[in-house]
């Protein structure tokens, strides 16, 4: 049996203190940053065979976008987070895979910028929260089913 899961059932939450998490209202997508490593060229006159050499540099989780449906409460929440002095805590919990009792959890911090999407007359009004991540991204594997 496949261990793959769909996004439905996941939660995307935020907190100002890293403890009291609340859901981002009407969230429509996952918020899991992808960490990239910067590589610095370290080629010298002694590099063998004329090949460039590299060393690992710093890591960056970049900017991610969280799609959500627009609600006044959700927009108000994100505006308050945008004006907060420090980075906001985020937690994304996937629904459990068939062999798990709890899903995998990703946590990170970032600075949000909300924007309301202009849509056509018959479409739902959407909101996108762009999050400039800061620091590391942690992953905790879900609990295996007995």
The pLDDT score that the predictor gives to residue 12 is 97
pLDDT digits (tens, 9 = 90+) for 32-78: 999 999 999 999 999 999 999 999 999 999 999 999 999 999 999 99
Terminal Cα distance for the chain, rounded: 17
Give the residue among 92, 127, 95, 93 at the shortest CA–CA distance from 109: 92
Residues with Cβ within 8 Å of 105's Cβ and at least 6 positions away in sequence, in order, are: 91, 92, 93, 94, 139, 140, 142
- pTM for the model stands at 0.90
The pLDDT score that the predictor gives to residue 48 is 96
pLDDT band at 88 (very low <50, low <70, confident <90, very high): very high
Give the residue among 126, 107, 124 at the shortest CA–CA distance from 115: 126
CB 137 within 8 A of CB 33: yes
The pLDDT score that the predictor gives to residue 115 is 97
The pLDDT score that the predictor gives to residue 4 is 96
The pLDDT score that the predictor gives to residue 119 is 80
How would CATH label the architecture of 11-40+55-137?
Roll (2.30)
């Amino acid at each position: 049996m496949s261990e793959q899961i769909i996004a439905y059932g996941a939660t995307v939450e935020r907190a100002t203190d890293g403890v009291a998490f609340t859901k981002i209202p009407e969230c429509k997508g996952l918020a899991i940053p992808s960490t990239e490593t910067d590589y610095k060229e370290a080629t010298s006159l002694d590099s063998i065979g004329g090949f460039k050499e590299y060393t690992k540099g710093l890591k960056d989780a970049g900017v991610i976008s969280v799609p959500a449906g627009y609600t006044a409460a959700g927009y108000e929440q994100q505006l308050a987070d945008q004006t907060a002095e420090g980075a906001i805590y985020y937690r994304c919990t996937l629904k459990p895979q068939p062999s798990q009792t709890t899903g995998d959890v990703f946590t990170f911090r970032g600075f949000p910028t909300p924007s309301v999407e202009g849509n056509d007359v018959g479409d739902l009004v959407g909101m996108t929260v762009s999050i400039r991540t800061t620091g590391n991204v942690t992953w905790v594997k879900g609990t295996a089913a007995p």
